[in-house]
Every structure is written in structure tokens, then in C-alpha cells.
Amino acid sequence: MRIAIIGTGYVGLVAGTCFAESGHDVTCVDLDARKVEALRRGELPLYEPGLEELVRRNVAARRLRFTGHLPEAVSPAQVVFIAVGTPQSERGSADLQYVLAAAEQIGRALRHYTVIVNKSTVPVGTSDQVRAVVARNTDVVFDVVSNPEFLKEGAALDDFLKPDRVVIGATSERARKLMADLYAPFVRTENPILFMDPHSAELTKYAANAMLATRISFMNDMALLCERVGANVDLVRKGMGADRRIGYAFLYPGIGYGGSCFPKDVRALMSTARDAGLELDLLRAVESTNTRQKRCLLGKALKHYGSLADHTFAVWGLAFKPKTDDMREAPSVELIEGLLGKGARVQCHDPVAGAVARQYFGDRVAYAPTCYEAAEGADGVFLVTEWNEFRRPDLKRLRALMRRPIIFDGRNVLDPRLARSEGFTYIGVGRD
């Protein structure tokens, strides 16, 4: 099958590469000529484990191509995916200017029946807008389908190649059959393709992310309560998760969620509800809890030291989660800005996000090649992102490097008893 992907960001690049890996002929489109040339060389604009190798392999096999000329990709395609950005507008809703601009160009390039797929995360009703824009620019028969992505950064290839479910919002049997054929290689283990109307498909993505964000914020509220009443959130979490109706996923307390999906999608869902005359008080509380939680380590440090002026701190982890270099709305950003604002010096380390961090902080912080070098002379270490290499550090070596042996564990990944036995003051989230 010939496929065109409009947009080579995280979603478009992963989708295009995985479709090519399953044998399809894929052309990805991007307006940035330098980005296109870099992708042709196998140089990726983002970090995702395993993706670079897969891109290079499929480019070499000529199943995956990159171009800056949209008609070249769209005209011969049977399926065209719109995977452009939907940045957050000032009022919290998704900005659809890039989606609708792509739809207009696609309409002009159509030459035969084509299924146009919204892969971008978009508000309810976007499929209707795309259909109207395309129809104004072509007399060719087409269908518009909503096919939201459910990719976790750091595990995107597995999520795409072995999905929990594939959601297809379509109104015609012809489009449903084509999409079923397209996704058949990925659902051989009986994970379902869920067919529904486009509006339901569009809402499903926002609802799923809002639910996961709610679980995180709920556990962070429980962690705060544990600190106030002398309980241990690790034990509370185990007791809750053992209930099969609840389970353990997304019940880990910490310093809040970040990234490109949860914050934006929660706000977009609230905006959609507001436009429909409904205030989602629960989600407003979720967002408020998350905002508060991003400040919790700074608050703990102020309580412990009194003043942070002229102190030096190591920050371990800058990306919003492990296995990505994405720092959008990362808790590390608010923490570091808070430390700098209080007159502290910051020495940071992240296995892959160092280059991205320079775009945020420039030369206001020091960048260390290892977590131990970041800790040299530090008055405390803030563990912010739970990379595997931070889970079992050499505590004796770490203590010898630091000026004061204090750890603020923002992800509760270290063993408090072990840290204290090595002479550290250990401060976690919701536990002793």
C-alpha cells in the first residue's frame, strides 16, 4: 500500500517508519528542507530507542522516503496521514492551523479515492473541519478517518507494532476495510481494532490521557497526605494496586507529569468541555495538583536549608521521563528555574537530553557528562527523572564527591534505608 505521512515529528516519524517496516511504501513530508535532508541521511530530530536503526534500514530498503513536496507524496497514495503539530492555544485548546493547512494542500493534490487520516491529537469535530476543507479543494471522492495515536515516549515502537488497541473513527465501510487491512499486521495477537464514529475516536484519546493524568495526580495528593499523617505512600500504593479494579499502572507518586501529551490534552479536554457549556472540575483539580507537585522538591529544599543562596545542587534527569530527550513541561524545568531564582548554582546531567536542556537554560547551569561529575561539590542531589542508571548509584562514591550528603528523591526510586546507612539524609515523596 502507498502511504503518505504529513509531518515528521514524533508521531509522523514513528508511524511512517513502522508502516514501512511492515512492507508498505511510505513517503513522509516535511516543509523544513534541512530536516528532510537530515532524515534522508538517517539523522533523527528526536531521541526514541530503536527508531534511528529502523529509519536507516527502511530508507536503505527504499520503503521509506522523505520529501518537502507534498503533492509528490499525496498524489499516488491510497492513505494520507495528517501528523502535524497541534500546539496549545492561549485558551488551552488545540491550535488546528497546521492540520487545516495540511488538509487544504492534500485536497489540491488528490487524484483518486484516498483515505485521509487524522493522526494528530485533535479536538472533537476536527474530522468534520478537515472534510470540509478538503472538499473545497477537490472533486475527488475521499474519506476522512480519525485514528488517534497512543504512543508512550521511550516505548513508541512497541506501542505501534504491538498496540493494546487500534481506534478507528470512520463513517464508510470502504474506509473501515482499508484501515483494517493497513493495521492487520499489528493486531495478530488478537488485540482489537475498535471501530467507532470519528467524534468518539477523537474524544477517546483525550479521555485516556486525562484518566492517566488523574491517577498520577491522585497518587501525588495521597503522597502529600501520607507526609502529613505519618503514613508511607509505597505501602498505600501496594494496597491500592492489589485491587484488580485499580491495578498498579500510573499509581507511582513523584514530582508531577510533563511531556507533550498529558498537560496539553488535559487542558484541551477542559477547553472542549467549556465550549460545550461544561466545567470539568475534576480535571481542573488534576492540573492544579500537578502544578503544585512540580514545586514540591523546591519546597522540601527550602524547608531543609532555609536559604538556597550560594548553595550548589546536582539535578539528575532533565527529560520529563526516561528514554526520551523531551523536556516539554518537564518537572526539571520548574525545579531548576526555582533553584536559580533562589540564588543556587545548578549542575545537571541527563543521559540524552543535554542538548535540549541548553535550549532552556543556556549557560545558566553547568552540564556534566555523568551523574557523579554533576554531584561534585554539591550541597544536595535532586533525582528528577528515573533513568535506570540513577536507580542504584555507588553511594560511597557519591558521598565522597558531595559537600553535603543529602538526596531529594523526586521519583522514590532509591532505597531510603540503604541511603541512610551510607550517611545520607534522604528526602522522598510521601514516605520516610
Q: Which pLDDT score is estimated for 189?
A: 77
Spatial strand order of the sheet with 114-118 comes to 64-67, 25-29, 2-6, 79-82, 114-118, 142-146, 166-169, 193-196
> Which of 292, 320, 355 represents a domain boundary (last residue)?
292
- The CATH number assigned to the domain holding 334 equals 3.40.50.720
If asked whether residues 249 and 353 sit together in one domain, one would say no
Distance CA 423, CA 56 (A): 48
Q: What are the pLDDT digits (tens) for 347-361? A: 999 999 999 999 999
Q: Domain for residue 432, yes or no? A: no
Q: Domain for residue 87, yes or no? A: yes
Q: What is the pTM of this model?
A: 0.91
> Which of 138, 168, 196 represents a domain boundary (last residue)?
196
Q: Which pLDDT score is estimated for 190?
A: 77
- Band (89; pLDDT cuts 50, 70, 90): confident
> Which of 276, 292, 308 represents a domain boundary (last residue)?
292
Contacts made by residues 277-286, CB under 8 angstroms, sequence distance 24+: 282/214, 283/210, 283/214, 285/217, 286/210, 286/213, 286/214, 286/217
If asked whether residues 167 and 37 sit together in one domain, one would say yes
Q: Domain for residue 154, yes or no? A: yes
Give me the mean pLDDT over the 416-429 stretch: 97
Question: Is residue 44 a known part of a binding site?
Answer: no
- Band (194; pLDDT cuts 50, 70, 90): very high
User: In this structure, are residues 206 and 86 in contact, taking their beta carbons and an 8 Å threshold?
Assistant: no
| Cβ-Cβ contacts under 8 Å for 27 (sequence gap 6 or more) | 2, 3, 4, 5, 65, 66, 67, 72, 73, 77
- Domain total for the chain? 3
Q: What are the pLDDT digits (tens) for 279-297? A: 999 999 999 999 999 999 9
If asked whether residues 278 and 373 sit together in one domain, one would say no
Question: Catalytic residue positions?
Answer: 261
If asked whether residues 298 and 262 sit together in one domain, one would say no
Question: Is residue 264 a known part of a binding site?
Answer: yes
Q: Domain for residue 220, yes or no? A: yes
Question: Is residue 253 a known part of a binding site?
Answer: yes
Mean pLDDT (the chain) is 95
Q: Domain for residue 372, yes or no? A: yes
Helix or strand (DSSP H, E) at 313: strand 312-316
Give me the mean pLDDT over the 331-344 stretch: 97
Q: What are the pLDDT digits (tens) for 145-191? A: 999 999 999 999 999 999 999 999 999 999 999 999 999 999 987 78
Please check the confidence at residue 313 and state whether its pLDDT lies above 80.
Answer: yes
If asked whether residues 136 and 179 sit together in one domain, one would say yes
| Three-class SS state of 236 | helix
* Percent of the chain whose pLDDT exceeds 70: 100
User: In this structure, are residues 374 and 407 in contact, taking their beta carbons and an 8 Å threshold?
Assistant: no
Residue 350: domain span: 294-427
Q: Which pLDDT score is estimated for 329?
A: 95
Question: Is residue 328 a known part of a binding site?
Answer: yes
If asked whether residues 184 and 47 sit together in one domain, one would say yes
Question: Is residue 303 a known part of a binding site?
Answer: no
Quote the DSSP letter at residue 389. G
Return the C-alpha cell found at 35: 530536516
Q: Domain for residue 371, yes or no? A: yes
Q: What are the pLDDT digits (tens) for 93-104? A: 888 999 999 999
Number of H helices, E strands in the chain: 18, 14
